[in-house]
Structure 1
């Protein structure tokens, strides 16, 4: 583990709302770490976390006629509304057993088999008073206990080719992965509270479960393929390029099962062949980095998601600036860019 000294961080966030459908967020963080050797009299570390929790009734969003306004009475149906949050309480206990090991053969090929077993036990107590009773149009709103088992097994393959030229080291690495799983269970029965943020990009192209959080689990058999090129100079400058695609091979595609929160459709993963995702990154020094990420429609080649990020680290100060442009996702409640 690292040094056990004092660790201090300040984070400043400013959100500017340009119009009802566009918000620009600025982040500024300051981090300082003090070695424990300089603070021998520090008997213990104190950590203070301030957070706000808003508990309210079921949150509905209308994505067909009223933009982001609340659904009108009589329209609380899957065809007109999205159930963003459920009224009542839910508790979940998750246990998982996972195994992974990497083998490298005499040719330099990397083989990584993996497997996992997981059990989610959910205890749901819904509030069906008043307008909350409309939750029954989206999920089984009866209080209940649900057990959801899941498993996954697969293999990740890499074959890096290394070349040395002048003062640069080049690495070209094709990557392939296959994941075999049963179909996702109970996508529409368990409330989706923490898996509503689904972004398909370079960071989760080779993730076994591309959903965030625990409420959704990817099911079916899927293959992920891609290629990575990296270059490193003797003076520390580096860069890399990644490009790839995902294929749903068999079973039910979890990303076509939006559930009450409509998470999955228009994500780029809801077809047998996913959209293309890529990244180009340039790191001239250890203090600077420039990254471009994009997602392209598999059928038309049009840009669905584009981000430019510039990051700077100077001592204990870290800053970054990101510009993003995203295609509308009306089925997910975002009908405008």
Structure 2
């Protein structure tokens, strides 16, 4: 008959005063005359979360030892597993010897040894040991293994120390090291080398990156990555720091290469911190030594950099924000003065529910655009605007389910202009406005649910006073999100004036099984044209282009989205679309964009481009990824890439090749090859495990 919860300290007076001793459960327990406790049959011993199973355990009181007959299975609270044929341990399972033993760490890394010595519950010493995370089939050598004369596993530091170690592939020695240290798979972070990465480009030649990770306490770390090739000596840096109220991250690099005579560098930094009274302080730094550096080293493909400092507070009824920004253009045909480079802005907005109904929103703001150049005209113009606005809105439900909305507002702006004699030094502008909207939602339920919503919006606005320079509304997008807005300018400087009518229809369908589709089309009619809208915006003239937009989604993972602007002759002004299909083994995506020439937007050539990306799970272990970008208007490729990743339960190997065809006075076409590999079972190579190899008879 099985005995439950038989505790050693209750039976042995010598252990009665000890703290946290082991607990024993067995089918049969015998206490001999010479003070030996013999437990046999389904023996299980517990100690502080560690569990030991064996066929027999003999406790020798005189020697204060447990003699264990296997098969032995020991599992700790973290899930690490130890198996052995036989062994000797103390009652606390902290010290002893296991013979013919095997350790499995985090269900990944296996270590087999003739003998394992356990010391103080912290050290495991393995003699004549083999380590691998690969599937072992019979007598066949694993894909990779490390053989060592001695391996010490420091369970508290979660480190593995190898002595006289040889790395083998399919049983063939590849290299030997007298000593090395590797993290075990349960370790989250520790100082040491990360996976080396090979990179070969047509500009920088063949090189290697050797990242070194440094822990800086529990809440900070740094990675230094020397990158060396025949054409460059580069040091990359990444720093991360977590605080009680926020976080800070920084990445950058310094290069001495043959492409340019001077040192080259870049720095990207981000920080965000919570302040008292629900304020949040954030900053961003983006700077680079020259326009080609980011692309030459494949650090980023940005063509404009933005550095800013902001303070933000959001409550249920208020928004307060202050921001200072600096822009740096990397485009060949653009100058910093045309942006302009320095922008400062502050605003406060509040919402209240007045006693006469509806919602009242009031706001104040100030912003400035500064150019360091003192040239008279647009190249040196500085503009400051201070203003306030108030808007009232109310909704009603009319008979028949029609939703009516009324909105009215008044905005006042005081402008100051310097270094541009074509504008007065200061001027005041007032903008009164009003808007009324009618929506009639019509729904039908059945196997598929349909919703049709025709909408009409009648609005009016007028300008009294200044005609300031347009700094923040140079480009506008016409899309379903602003079809029924009173103004479609992106900023404050330009205003849609006069009377206008926006008419449109939206249809939405929710089908069975998760299928869904939607379609929106509409148009804007005005009593007078708006000169600040560019020809390619679709909003110039007294009648806008027709806006058509749709989306279709299937339960099988297929999604298509499309938007187009068409004039009365059904000629396209602007169109873009995206399609994607994904499942467990396939991921396909395509994006197309077309925009006509528009000198007002500094676009002298038509844009017509396809962007494609694909991922294929070719086999259980092999995956292919590809991407391409093609300029249809210029009939030439822009970039292309191809990569393969092979991954099983113990190895990940990735190879890639890419080509960037773009060229300018500062950027040359570049071909890049990459190679990276990692071994599963160590923290430096931790990743999602691939499928295990199958053993064949």
TM-score range, shorter chain: 0.5 to 0.7
Shift of 1:312: 9.1
Which residue number in structure 2 is paired with residue 215 of structure 1?
A: 493
1:242 maps onto 2:520 in alignment = yes
Q: Is the 8 A contact 1:159 1:173 kept in 2?
A: yes
Structure exhibiting the larger radius of gyration computed from Cα positions: 2
Q: 1:273 to 1:103 in 2, by over 3 A?
A: same
Which residue number in structure 1 is paired with residue 458 of structure 2?
A: 178
Which residue number in structure 1 is paired with residue 449 of structure 2?
A: 169
Q: 1:282 to 1:159 in 2, by over 3 A?
A: same
Q: 1:208 to 1:185 in 2, by over 3 A?
A: farther
Q: Secondary structure at the match of 1:218?
A: coil
Out of 476, 482, 493, the position equivalent to 1:204 is 482
RMSD: 3.2
Out of 109, 117, 120, the position equivalent to 2:402 is 109
Which residue number in structure 2 is paired with residue 118 of structure 1?
A: 411
Q: Secondary structure at the match of 2:493?
A: coil
Q: Secondary structure at the match of 2:246?
A: coil
Out of 547, 553, 562, the position equivalent to 1:292 is 562
The structure with more strand, counted as a fraction of residues? 2
- After superposition, residues 1-337 of structure 1 pair within 5 angstroms as 43-46=244-247, 47=272, 48-50=283-285, 51-52=306-307, 53-54=326-327, 59=338, 85-126=378-419, 136=421, 139-140=422-423, 142=424, 144-166=425-447, 168-183=448-463, 186-187=466-467, 190-249=468-527, 252-253=528-529, 255=530, 257-258=531-532, 263-284=533-554, 289-298=559-568, 300-310=569-579, 322-330=591-599, 332-337=601-606
Q: 1:57 to 1:273 in 2, by over 3 A?
A: closer
Q: Secondary structure at the match of 1:211?
A: coil
Q: Secondary structure at the match of 1:165?
A: coil
CA distance in 2, matches of 1:86, 1:112: 44
CA distance in 1, matches of 2:594, 2:540: 21
Shift of 1:119: 1.1
Tell me the TM-score normalized by structure 2. 0.33
Shift of 1:170: 0.2
CA distance in 1, matches of 2:438, 2:573: 28
Q: Which runs of 5+ in 2 are unaligned?
A: 1-241, 248-271, 273-282, 286-305, 308-325, 329-334, 340-375, 607-697
Q: 1:328 to 1:163 in 2, by over 3 A?
A: same
Q: Secondary structure at the match of 1:101?
A: strand
CA distance in 1, matches of 2:489, 2:379: 19
Q: 1:155 to 1:273 in 2, by over 3 A?
A: same
Q: 1:84 to 1:295 in 2, by over 3 A?
A: farther
CA distance in 2, matches of 1:271, 1:85: 26
Q: Is the 8 A contact 1:265 1:332 kept in 2?
A: no
Q: 1:183 to 1:150 in 2, by over 3 A?
A: closer
- 1:84-118 per-residue CA deviation (whole Å, 9 max, x = no partner) reads 95414222123111111221123111101111111
CA distance in 1, matches of 2:436, 2:445: 29
CA distance in 2, matches of 1:312, 1:98: 44
Q: Is the 8 A contact 2:429 2:463 kept in 1?
A: no
Q: Is the 8 A contact 2:534 2:598 kept in 1?
A: no
Aligned residue pairs: how many?
Answer: 247
Q: Is the 8 A contact 1:195 1:211 kept in 2?
A: yes
Shift of 1:229: 0.4
Q: Which runs of 5+ in 1 are unaligned?
A: 1-40, 61-82, 127-134
Q: Is the 8 A contact 2:410 2:433 kept in 1?
A: yes
Q: Is the 8 A contact 1:117 1:152 kept in 2?
A: yes
- 1:198-230 per-residue CA deviation (whole Å, 9 max, x = no partner) reads 122323211111111111111110000011100
- 1:147-168 per-residue CA deviation (whole Å, 9 max, x = no partner) reads 11102101111101101121x1
Shift of 1:329: 2.3
